[in-house]
A = this chain, B = another copy of it.
Amino acid sequence: MSSAVSERLLVQEVAPRDGLQIEPVWVPTGDKVALIDALSAAGFTRIEAGAFVSPKAIPALRDGDEVFRRIRRKAGVIYAALIPNLKGAQRALAAGADELNMVMSASQTHNLANMRMTCEASLDGFAGVVAHTAQTAQTVQTGVTLNGTVATAFGCPFEGKIDEDRVLSIVEHYLRLDIGAITLADTTGMANPRQVARLVRRVLAMLPASALTLHFHNTRGLGLVNVMAAFEAGARRFDASLGGLGGCPFAPGASGNICTEDLVNLCDEIGIETGIDLPALMALTRGLPALLGHDVPGQVAKAGRNCDLHPAPPSMPDAG
Contacts and interface: CB of A to CB of B under 8 A. Distances in A.
A1 B259 CA distance: 27
A82 interface: no
Nearest to A262: B221
A300 B157 CA distance: 14
A306 B253 CA distance: 11
A198 to B, nearest CB: 9
B311 A158 contact: yes
A319 interface: yes
Contacts of A112: 312, 316-317, 319
Interface string A179-210: 00000000001111111000000000000000
B253 A222 contact: no
A269 B252 CA distance: 20
Interface of A: 1, 108-109, 112-113, 118, 155, 157-160, 189-195, 218-225, 228-229, 250, 252-255, 259, 262, 265-266, 269-271, 298-300, 302-313, 316-317, 319-320
A223 B229 CA distance: 15
Given A309-B157, A319-B108, A221 B220 contact: no
A158 B224 CA distance: 26
B189 A303 contact: yes
Nearest to A223: B221
B312 A109 contact: yes
Contacts of A316: 109, 112-113
Nearest to A263: B221
A306 B270 contact: no
Contacts of A300: 220-221
